[in-house]
Structure 1
Amino acid sequence: MSSLRAKIQDVFNEPACEQNRGKDAKARKEGCSKPLTPGATAGGCAFDGAKIVLQPITDVAHLIHAPLACEGNSWDNRGAASSGPTLWRTSFTTDLTELDVVMGQGERKLFKAIREIKEAYGPPAIFVYPTCVTALIGDDIEAVCKRAAEKFGLPVVPVNAPGFVGSKNLGNKLAGEALLDHVIGTVEPDDAGPYDINILGEFNLSGEFWLVKPLLDRLGIRVRACIPGDARYFDIACAHRARAAMMVCSTALINLARKMEQRWDIPFFEGSFYGITDTSEALRQLSQLLVKKGADPEILGRTEALIAEEEAIAWKKLAAYRPRLEGKRVLLNTGGVKSWSVVHALMEIGIEIVGTSVKKSTVEDKERIKHILKDDNHMFEQMAPRELYTMLSEHKADIMLSGGRTQFIALKAKTPWLDINQERQHPYAGYDGMVELVRQIDLAIHNPIWCQVREPAPWDCQPAVREQLPRTKSETATLHVVQEFAGTTADDFGEC
């Protein structure tokens, strides 16, 4: 537990964070993550954050050392996609019971579970995640993992991020520390080259990185490791031999990028593959970093030629949507890199941004938004559901882009909504992804259902008086029966 405490303190004191550098020594020790309220999820715990970062490593077995309820539906946990192995989506848990806790059987049960996974699946590595229960009872996860690795001849990686230590974002960073301590640098590749790069903080949601990788392939740039999207264990183990790196989501793995630069001299920059301009700029910066690390300068010319070709194609496709979407108002309720990169992408085709959430954004992200929007009046740290509903019901936005948690607020306000977070079904990265994003926005806004749901309900309209129709014999007989029962006349009932 003392090593975990030291690791957390090290993650809190992040030199690469501009906000952290501006604090005094005392404030820096207090850290950046807000403590969790007991009994509240606060957007996810540290265990959840660590699992999110590491689970997309597709050929690894992820073992949760905890009671059964700590493991969720791993098959549909996030929208990350794999081009091959599906082992990462299989749930493995030690399923501790009250008796195991009382009798101190946790460590023995963990060792047995590791052996069973090794024999049944033969993965290249096993990641072990303790949670609140196993951390509080004092199970020595690192000792068990070390012994199991020696016994079974495969890497067994302890991911020491129990939920009670902090927020989901802290868990993201602790997952990066686990990779640094136990994975990266453990294998030497025999094919390292001057055009190898790492992509950090890219989750390959809905397979969107597959829209970007062909661009890099055309430039002769090889992705040594994409961490964690569609990753393989040995690719990550060899990641220390890359020549440059791009950070996609700095809030998740900034510590990983900084320490890889310190240890192995891998320079990095923060960029985005959302939007035409940002995608082009990311390709330029990657090429420039590679040239600085010794690559042939001719790659710069090839990069500009590729950018010119792809931008021309993308703008031609987007031309059909501009008249339909220009001037439309969008409310973004997301965070991180999407809080500024998607803003820039949408403004490129004439869409107006009426607001964007910055709850999970870094100081650098917020500065980018100010620069793009020219002010900070459209930035909000957090908007309560009632405020979101009021804004949408008053038609201050034509569509809301957010995650699944707030979709029903938009639907209740009879406003189009599009999922832009991890559960989305369509890839939005790269040039083709930008076209797809605009197409989905156009489909959502111009869906004819919105004209129908905004009309008054039939029961809210004054019914028209129907013309008196002659009654049949059966209707007349029925009215006479009612007459006798209620002491009324047929005329009291009016028209049918």
Structure 2
Amino acid sequence: MSLLRAKIQDVFNEPACEKNRGKNAKASKKGCSKPLTPGAAAGGCAFDGAKIVLQPITDVAHLVHAPLACEGNSWDNRGAASSGPTLWRTSFTTDLTELDVVMGQGERKLFKAIREIKEAYGPPAIFVYPTCVTALIGDDIEAVCKRAAEKFGLPVVPVNAPGFVGSKNLGNKLAGEALLEHVIGTVEPDDAGPYDINILGEFNLSGEFWLVKPLLDRLGIRVRACIPGDARYFDIACAHRARAAMMVCSTALINLARKMEQRWDIPFFEGSFYGITDTSEALRQISQLLVKKGADPEILCRTEALIAEEEAIAWKKLAAYRPRLEGKRVLLNTGGVKSWSVVHALMEIGIEIVGTSVKKSTVEDKERIKQILKDDNHIFEQMAPRELYAMLSEHNADIMLSGGRTQFIALKAKTPWLDINQERQHPYAGYDGMVELVRQIELAIHNPIWRQVREAAPWDCQPAVREELPSTKSEAATLHAVQEFAGTMADDFGEC
């Protein structure tokens, strides 16, 4: 437990942010984000965060050493996609019970589960996740994993991120520490080249990295390891031989990028594949880093040629949407890299940003937003559901882009909504992804259903009653018969 505590403290003292490097020593130790109180797990616990980072490693068996509910609540928690193995889609848990805890059977049950997975599936590695229960009762996960690795001849990686130690973001970083300690650098590749890079913090949500990888392939750049999106264990084990790295989500794996630079001299930068300009800039910076590490400078010319070609195609496609979207107002309720990269992407086609959330963004993310928007009034740390509803119901925004948690606020306010977080169904990265994002926004805003739901309900309408003349002979005859009957009744009973 003391080792875990020291590791957590090390993660909090993260000096690697780009702007953080220019600070003095005292300010630099504060790191990229404000440390959270252990146990403050709003929005997800540390175990959940570790699982998010590691589960997209597709050929690995992910074993949760805990009661069944821990795996049930964390399984398939992101829409990451795989181009091959499907083992990561299988849930493994030791299903610890009260009797196992009382009788001290946890470690034995874990060893048995590792053996069963090895015999039934033969994975290249097994990742073992302790949770609150197994950490609190003192099961020695690292000892069991070490013994199992020796016994069965395959890597068994302990991921020490029990939920009670902190937030989901802390779990992301602890997962990076597990990769550094037990995986990266354990295999020496025989095909290392001058154009190998790592992509860190890219989750391949809805397969969006597959829109970016062909661009790198055309430049002759090989992705040695994409961590964790569509990753393989062997690729990550060889990741220390890459020449450069791009950090996509610094809040998740900045510690991994910094320590790989320290240990193996792999320079990195933080960039984004959202939007035309940011995608082009990311390609340029990748090429420039490779040249600094010894690649042929000719790649810079090829990169500019590719950018010019792809931008021309993308802008031509986007021109069709500009007349229907220019001046439309978007409320962005997300965080992290999307808080600034998507803002920039949308403003490129004339969309107005009325607000963006920075709840899970780093200090550097917030600085980028300020530079893009040039107005702090459009930045909010956190907006309560009541305030979101008020803003949308007063028609201060034409659409809200957010995650699934706030979709019902938009629907109640009768405002279009588009999912931009991990549950989304469409890829938005790269040039083609930007076109798809704009297309989905246009479809959502101009969907005719919104005109209908904003109309008053039929039972709320009170149409005026008016006398109309009959339009046909049959209607006239019916009216005459009714009038005669009414006259007869009046003669018999008198007028009311």
Q: Structure 1 length normalisation: TM-score? A: 0.92
Cα pair 1:276 1:311 within 8 Å, conserved? yes
Q: Tell me, yes or no, if the aligned pair for 2:470 and 2:476 is still in contact at 8 Å.
A: no
| Number of residues of Structure 1 aligned to a counterpart in Structure 2 | 496
Matches of 1:107 and 1:483, distance apart in 2: 93
How far the C-alpha of 1:72 sits from its partner, in A, is: 2.4
Query: After superposition, what is the alpha-carbon deviation per residue over 1:113-145, rounded to whole angstroms, capped at 9, x for unaligned?
Result: 000000000000000000000000000000000
Are the aligned partners of 1:111 and 1:148 in contact in 2 as well (CA < 8 Å)?
Answer: yes
Are 1:34 and 1:166, in contact at CA under 8 Å, matched by a contact in 2?
no
Residue 423 of structure 2 corresponds to: 423
The 1:478/1:157 distance shift into structure 2, 3 A limit, reads farther
Alpha carbons 2:14, 2:29 under 8 Å: kept: no
CA change 1:224–1:490 in 2 (3 A) is: farther
- Assess, with a 3 A threshold, how the Cα gap between structure 1 residues 187 and 448 changes in structure 2: closer, same or farther: same
Backbone CA RMSD of aligned residues? 4.6
Q: Distance in 1 between matches of 2:228 and 2:72?
A: 19
SS of aligned partner of 1:79? coil
- 1:287 and 1:273 mapped to 2: Cα distance? 15
- Cα distance between partner residues in 1 of 2:490 and 2:151: 93
Contact 1:33/1:170 (<8 A) preserved:
no
Aligned to 1:95: 95
Equivalent residue, structure 1, for 2:452? 452
CA distance in 2, matches of 1:484, 1:40: 81
* Deviation by residue 1:48-77 (Cα, 9 ceiling, x = unmatched): 000000000000000000000111266642
**C-alpha contact 1:247 1:254 (8 A) present in aligned 2:** yes
Distance 1:318 1:151, change over 3 A: same
Query: 454-463 or 28-37, which moves further after superposition?
Result: 28-37
- Relative distance call for 1:493 and 1:449 in structure 2 (3 A) is farther
Alpha-carbon distance change, 30 to 112 in structure 1, aligned in 2, over 3 angstroms:
farther
1:473 to 1:129, Cα distance in 2 relative to 1, 3 A: farther
Q: 1:485 to 1:258 in 2, by over 3 A?
A: farther
- Larger mean CA deviation between 337-346 and 459-468 belongs to 459-468
Does the CA contact (< 8 Å) of 1:9 and 1:31 recur in 2? no
Pair 1:456–1:105, CA change in 2 (3 A) = same
How many angstroms apart in 2 are the aligned matches of 1:150 and 1:307? 50
Distance 1:40 1:485, change over 3 A: farther
Kept in 2, the 8 Å contact 1:13–1:20? The answer is no
Moved more, 76-85 or 136-145: 76-85
Deviations 1:66-115 (A, max 9, x none): 00011126664211000011110111000000000000000000000000
Mapped contact 2:125–2:233 kept (Cα < 8 A): yes
Alpha carbons of 1:436 and 1:105: their partners in 2 closer, same or farther (altered >3 Å)?
same
Structure-2 change in CA distance of 1:124 and 1:487 (3 Å): farther
Task: Tell me how far apart the structure 2 counterparts of residues 118 and 474 of structure 1 sit (CA, whole Å).
Answer: 85
In structure 1, C-alpha distance between the alignment counterparts of 2:306 and 2:472, rounded to whole Å: 80
1 CA distance for matches of 2:491 and 2:424?
A: 61
Q: Deviations over 1:471-495 (max 9, x none)?
A: 9999999999999999999999999
Distance 1:96 1:29 in 2: 40
Secondary structure at the counterpart of residue 224 of structure 2: strand
Change over 3 Å in CA distance of 1:18–1:238 after alignment to 2: closer
Structure 1 residues 38, 277: CA separation in 2 closer, same or farther (over 3 Å shift)? Answer: closer
CA contact (8 A) 1:479 1:490 kept: no
Q: Is the 8 A contact 1:65 1:129 kept in 2?
A: yes
CA distance 1:6–1:489, shift in 2 (3 Å): farther
Q: CA 1:371–1:359 in structure 2 vs 1: closer, same or farther (change >3 Å)? A: same
Query: Residues 284 and 468 (structure 1 numbering): CA distance in 2 closer, same or farther, change over 3 Å?
Result: closer
The aligned residue for residue 297 of structure 1 is 297
Q: Decide whether aligned partners of structure 1 residues 476 and 301 sit closer, same or farther in structure 2, where only a CA change above 3 A counts.
A: closer
Structure 1 residue 152: deviation in Å?
Answer: 0.2
Q: Quick one: distance in 1 between partners of 2:188 and 2:210?
A: 26
The change in CA–CA distance for 1:471 and 1:370 in structure 2 (over 3 A counts) is closer
Pair 432,29 (structure 1): closer, same or farther in 2 beyond 3 Å:
closer
Task: Give deviations 1:362-399, integer Å, cap 9, x for gaps.
Answer: 11111110000112110000000000000000000000
Per-residue deviation, residues 268-287 of structure 1 (Å, max 9, x unmatched): 00000000000000000000
- Alignment match, 2:38: 38
TM-score (norm 2): 0.92
Distance 1:481 1:93, change over 3 A: farther
Paired residue secondary structure (1:32): coil
Contact between 1:418 and 1:441, CA under 8 Å: does it hold in 2?
Answer: yes
* 2:15/2:32 contact within 8 Å kept: no
Q: Given the alignment of the two structures, is residue 123 of structure 1 paired with residue 123 of structure 2, yes or no?
A: yes
Tell me: CA distance 1:40–1:297, structure 2 relative to 1, closer, same or farther (3 Å).
closer
Give the direction of change, closer, same or farther, for the CA distance of 1:16–1:36 in structure 2 (3 Å limit).
closer
CA 1:143–1:458: 2 relative to 1, 3 Å: same
Cα separation, partners in 2 of 1:147 and 1:457, compared to 1, 3 Å: same
CA distance in 2, matches of 1:29, 1:481: 95
Out of 266-275 and 39-48, give the one that drifted further.
Answer: 39-48
Shift, 1:8, TM fit? 0.5
Answer yes or no: is the 8 Å Cα contact 2:15–2:29 preserved in 1: no
Partner Cα distance (1:313, 1:86) in 2? 35
SS of alignment partner, residue 72 of structure 2: coil
The percent identity for this pair of structures is 96
Q: 1:250 to 1:461 in 2, by over 3 A?
A: same
2-structure distance, mates of 1:172, 1:401: 24
Cα gap change, 1:481 to 1:317, in 2 (>3 Å): closer
Corresponding residue of 1:68: 68
Residues 32, 363 of structure 2: 8 Å contact kept? no
Paired with 1:486 and 1:113, the residues of 2 have a C-alpha distance of: 88
Query: CA distance change for structure 1 residues 135 and 75 in 2, over 3 Å: closer, same or farther?
Result: closer
- Structure 2 gaps of 5+ residues are none
* Mapped contact 1:468–1:495 kept (Cα < 8 A): no
Give the whole-Å Cα distance in 1 for the aligned partners of 2:2 and 2:12. 15
Say if 2:159 and 2:175, in contact at 8 Å, map to a contact too: yes
C-alpha displacement of 1:459: 1.0
The change in CA–CA distance for 1:31 and 1:313 in structure 2 (over 3 A counts) is closer
- Mapped to 1, the partners of 2:392 and 2:458 lie a distance apart of 24
Residue by residue over 1:401-460, the C-alpha shift from the partner in whole angstroms, topping out at 9 and shown as x without a partner, is 000000000000000000000000000000000000000000000000000000001111
Q: CA deviation at 1:466?
A: 7.5
Aligned in 2, Cα 1:57/1:287: closer, same or farther, shift over 3 Å?
A: same
- Specify whether residues 468 and 133 from structure 1 end up closer, same or farther in structure 2 by C-alpha distance, changes over 3 A only: same
Shift in CA distance, 133/299, structure 1 to aligned 2, threshold 3 Å: same
